[in-house]
Amino acid sequence: MIVDDDADFLNVAGALLNRDGVTVAGMARNSAEAVQRVQALRPDVVLIDIRLGRESGFEAARLLANSGHSGTMIMISTHAGEDYAELITESPAAGFLPKAELSATAVRRMLGTA
């Protein structure tokens, strides 16, 4: 599943991952949608943009963790991971993936399955 406030990015990223063999179970544009869809779809992996418009992707990750999501969460952003290193470490996310490097292979590598 992908959580991002940019509809264009959601469409492009979803198509890219699906084309490369990663099933994108759903998409959400904010924290509330993310919690609702994760509870309904139970995805194995959730990619969460660090900046969700006026919301924080880190807060979305905490909400997902507190709602019982047991899958892997990966923070994504167009900004450098170093800018958010401490917040990423403190979050329930497994790590960070730059949007420019997003691919099925990169996701699998983050999961340790590539």
Per-residue pLDDT, 113 = 75
**Mean pLDDT of the region 19-32:** 95
Topology (CATH) of 2-111? Rossmann fold (3.40.50)
**Buried-exposed string 51-74: b where 16+ CB fall within 10 A, e elsewhere:** bbeebbbbebbbbbeeeebeebbb
Per-residue pLDDT, 98 = 96
User: Tokens 């990223």 belong to which residue?
Assistant: 13
Would you call 52 helix, strand, or coil by DSSP? Answer: strand
For residue 82, the one-letter residue type is E
Query: Would you list the domain boundaries of the chain?
Result: 2-111
Per-residue pLDDT, 61 = 96
State yes or no: pLDDT of 109 exceeds 60. yes
How does residue 114 score in pLDDT terms, banded at 50, 70 and 90? low
State the DSSP string of 71-99.
SEEEEEESS-GGGGHHHHHHSS-SEEEEG
This prediction has a pTM of 0.94
Contact 71, 25 (CB under 8 A): no
